[in-house]
């Protein structure tokens, strides 16, 4: 789980290895959800790729792929 603290808001990102959804897409979907429901706002910083890798024990390329996809989609 990754905990994102922004001002007084705290958001936790969870991964489900059994979901069948690729890990990078789970991250993308959770960030989009957080933006959609104003848990994250434009200009808020996501955790560094290094922090996500350490907290979730996933490959750095997975996090970078998720962040690139979010950037490509304008998030």
pLDDT score for 39: 87
Q: What phi and psi, each to the nearest 5 degrees, are found at residue 28?
A: -60, -50
Residues of the chain with pLDDT under 50: none
Cβ proximity of 63 and 26 under 8 Å: no
Quickly list DSSP for the chain: -EEEEETTEEEEE---TTSSS-HHHHHHHHHHHHHHTTSS-TTPPPPPHHHHHHHHT--HHHHHHHHHHHHHTT-
Structure tokens, 11:
């958001």
Domain map of the chain by residue range? 2-72
pLDDT score for 12: 80
pLDDT score for 68: 97
Q: Which value, in Å, is the radius of gyration of the alpha carbons in the chain?
A: 12
CATH 1.10.10.10 assigned to 2-72: yes
């Amino acid at each position: 789980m990754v905990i994102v603290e922004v001002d007084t808001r705290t958001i936790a990102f969870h991964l489900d290895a059994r979901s069948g959804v690729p890990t990078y897409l789970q991250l993308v979907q959770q960030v989009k959800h957080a933006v959609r429901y104003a848990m994250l706002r434009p200009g808020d910083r996501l955790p560094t790729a290094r922090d996500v890798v350490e907290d979730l024990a996933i490959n750095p390329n997975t996090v970078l792929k998720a962040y690139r996809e979010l950037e490509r989609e304008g998030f």
